[in-house]
Amino acid sequence: MSCDHLICAYCAGPVEEGRCSSCRAVRAQMHDHGGFTPQQLAIAAALLLILAFSLLAPHLA
């Protein structure tokens, strides 16, 4: 979905022009292509370490 044809309910302008703070917020949200935050990467790394330890623990004892 893109903001090309969206009209802002606050300023009645096209969202893609970003006339008001609401337009700019929606445009930024729609154009955010994601990616991982550092917190998400740390959680994923911790889960992988827990999984690796749980799989290797029986072999170490």
Q: Phi, psi at residue 7, to the nearest 5°? A: -115, 135
The 3-class SS string of the chain reads: CCCCCCECCCCCCEHHHCCCHHHHHHHHHHHCCCCCCHHHHHHHHHHHHHHHHHHHHHHHC
Check if the beta carbon of residue 10 is closer than 8 Å to that of residue 20.
Answer: yes
Q: Give residue 36's pLDDT.
A: 79
Q: Give residue 61's pLDDT.
A: 67
Q: What is the mean pLDDT of each run of 10 residues along the chain (61 residues)?
A: 77 88 85 77 95 88 67
Residue labelled with tokens 């072999």: 59
